[in-house]
Structure 1
């Protein structure tokens, strides 16, 4: 359930590619200079700094640390931490990274996978791997790549914590949930973090990690805002979907087999925690359903989901919204044709692929507007023509009588007086309100201006 990672849209902020350098410290056991005493309660975590480095961009420097986080009774978690640079406290964004391959932990499993390199490999670090098990994809990353993807937040003087789930290293659902919880525990004891302005972001399996990280967060660091792209929110419903709904919808044997092979590694991890299929006696999904999540999560989340998602059906997000409407706000990417399940591949949907850049622009806009200071300029990157192309699809859905009321709140966020839209290839800036007025006018033939677009859109989109 991989999803595109955050692209380097942010690198155009100052027209330069950031360079990150790792210090390659000779000591890999120095404890990080943070409040890192040996845990004495359920909310603490032991923090060990394994290495450090810095991101250099446009004459500025952002230091980072490579951390090992240990909670008693659990496997170690690894994270990359960019502490806020400003005096006092600053907002922080947590990035959930379920699949990234990291080679700096000192663990044999990471060295093994790093030696294999990018590609499809046997899932043989997972304890239930055996004959008939499907392989998994491995994508190595580096501190430099994570630094580049964090740059849009760092440029706004936010702290950034990337928490690695290390899917390739094996484990189960609880292990991934523990990893994210360790990251949240770290923020509860880290310096300079504004605990009232924490955001969290993740997609697909990382969306599951973001939702459950927020639900499990210590009371002092419950995120103020979250964004999840196509998240897996209900594991009992997901098993039912793959095991029973897909065979009922997909008649082509080859496509059915493709689904089963894709999900097999996920099912091994799900069953390792829950005990098996939810219909089987003795299994336990009590902490892995939308009902549990709705009862536990206090963070307001924006969820963006393609309604032709064949990996995590959009119905799962609709169900979560129904159970927690005061905290879960959806925006659906609506396909207009008839679904042919025998030709749709297992992926997160054609519109999420087509409008991936826009989805990230809207996600970044939501996080920055929610976390930025009242008088802080906020730079939201976009690519030329992409927002207009997406809005043309929105208008087409509107003409078919679809409900597109979930679009206006996202546009209004980009008209916030603090927002400047950055065109990534040209490096040009434009006030957010002027940009949205321009794009809406081009699609609907209106004559809105920077001064009146907010009030004009507040009642809803123009009539086609």
Structure 2
């Protein structure tokens, strides 16, 4: 359940390769010892700095710290922290990093996986691994790569905290949830953080982590805004989907096997927390791992982006979550034309989302920065030349099929915020967001809007096809 990150567009905006240096000196157990219930009070988190470095880019420097965060009774959490450079308090974005492999913790498990390198490997750091267990993918990262992803927020004088879930290191759902909670606790006790302007971002398994970071956030640091891409929001429904819905849709035995092998490592982690299949296992408890729990716990408004042909986390789960709290969860659906052929559609997060990956990044980053930026601040939003227009051409085609695309206009409207400047690195263009959006809409719908009229027009929705 992997997703691309914002690194690509951030580095395009950066225009240079960031450089950094760091060191590590510590180690800790990776055993999963979290409590049954994740407390939401700030509590205490012990912070140990394991290394430091700086992002050198665009003629400026942004220092960062490599941190070990320890909450009593839990396994250690690791994070890369870019403190705000401005005096006083600043907005901060927490980015969930469930899969990224890090080498600077001092733990043997990280050294083992680093020695294996990028690729598929046995999931043998997970306690319930055994004969027949599926391998998992390992993707190493570096402080430089994380710096590139953070740059778009750093350039706006935000702080950035990347929290590593380290899926490859084993553990269970509670362990990942504890990691995100440790990150939120760190923000709660960090004096340079504007606790009224915190954002959280994650995709897929990291989308689950983003939702639960908000659910468990101490009262003093409840995020102002969240973005979740293809998030896993209901684990009971996910187990039911893989175990019973997929077999009812997929008749090809080879494709069924692909699904089972892919999800086997996830099921081990889910069952380690919940006790087993919610339908067939007596006593299995999903009460803290479903949409109803999120409804009760999450106060943060979230933008959720989801492909309607997502075969890993079906879009029906997001539709159900939105229906429970439409005032809190705002969806943007990447829709596909035509019927789904389940026997040929590979297990992934959907073809339209993949084809519009840079658009997804543009819209996600814009949503966070517009919500967190200062009233008089220039907000620079990256985009890739031609991609927004191509996406909108697909949206217009959906309109002609009488599909509901009312969720698109609000996202374009956000780009017309008077503070927004759209930046495209490869052609070096910068233009006001309203002028950019007007040009895209006019090119696709044949309209004649201007930067002065596009906002009012979009408030009524998209033009007719």
Q: TM-score, normalised by structure 1?
A: 0.96
Residues 231-256 of structure 1, C-alpha deviations (whole Å, 9 max, x = no match): 00000000000000000000000000
| C-alpha contact 1:18 1:58 (8 A) present in aligned 2 | no
Match of 2:399 in 1: 398
Q: How does 1:369-388 map to 2 (within 5 A)?
A: 369-388=370-389
Residues 298-329 of structure 1, C-alpha deviations (whole Å, 9 max, x = no match): 00000000000000000000010011111100
Q: 1:22 is paired with a residue of what secondary structure?
A: coil
Q: How does 1:141-290 map to 2 (within 5 A)?
A: 141-279=141-279, 280-290=281-291
Residue 6 of structure 1 and its aligned partner are, at CA, apart by 1.6
Match of 1:436 in 2: 437
Q: Aligned partners of 1:183, 1:208: CA distance in 2, in Å?
A: 15
| C-alpha contact 2:23 2:104 (8 A) present in aligned 1 | no
Residue 191 of structure 1 and its aligned partner are, at CA, apart by 2.1
Q: Aligned partners of 1:209, 1:324: CA distance in 2, in Å?
A: 19
Match of 1:325 in 2: 326
Residue 14 of structure 1 and its aligned partner are, at CA, apart by 5.1
Match of 1:37 in 2: none
Q: Aligned partners of 2:209, 2:11: CA distance in 1, in Å?
A: 26
Q: TM-score, normalised by structure 2?
A: 0.96
Residue 16 of structure 1 and its aligned partner are, at CA, apart by 2.7
Q: Is the aligned partner of 1:413 residue 2:414?
A: yes
Aligned residues: 452
Q: Aligned partners of 1:125, 1:222: CA distance in 2, in Å?
A: 33
Q: Aligned partners of 2:21, 2:223: CA distance in 1, in Å?
A: 29
Q: Aligned partners of 2:397, 2:317: CA distance in 1, in Å?
A: 25
Could you tell me which runs of 5 or more consecutive residues in structure 2 were left unpaired when the two chains were aligned: 28-40
Moved segments of 4+, more than 2 Å: 10-19
Residue 410 of structure 1 and its aligned partner are, at CA, apart by 0.3
Residue 360 of structure 1 and its aligned partner are, at CA, apart by 0.5
Residue 77 of structure 1 and its aligned partner are, at CA, apart by 0.2
Q: Aligned partners of 1:295, 1:425: CA distance in 2, in Å?
A: 45
Residue 42 of structure 1 and its aligned partner are, at CA, apart by 5.9
Q: Aligned partners of 1:238, 1:294: CA distance in 2, in Å?
A: 17
Q: 2:6 is paired with a residue of what secondary structure?
A: coil
Q: 1:233 is paired with a residue of what secondary structure?
A: coil
Residues 166-216 of structure 1, C-alpha deviations (whole Å, 9 max, x = no match): 000000000000000000000000121000000000000000000001000
Q: Aligned partners of 1:413, 1:18: CA distance in 2, in Å?
A: 30
Call closer, same or farther: CA 1:272–1:204 in 2, change over 3 Å.
Answer: same
Residues 257-291 of structure 1, C-alpha deviations (whole Å, 9 max, x = no match): 00000000000000000000001211100000001
Could you tell me which runs of 5 or more consecutive residues in structure 1 were left unpaired when the two chains were aligned: 30-40
Q: Aligned partners of 1:260, 1:115: CA distance in 2, in Å?
A: 28
Q: Aligned partners of 2:101, 2:53: CA distance in 1, in Å?
A: 18
Q: Aligned partners of 1:10, 1:289: CA distance in 2, in Å?
A: 33
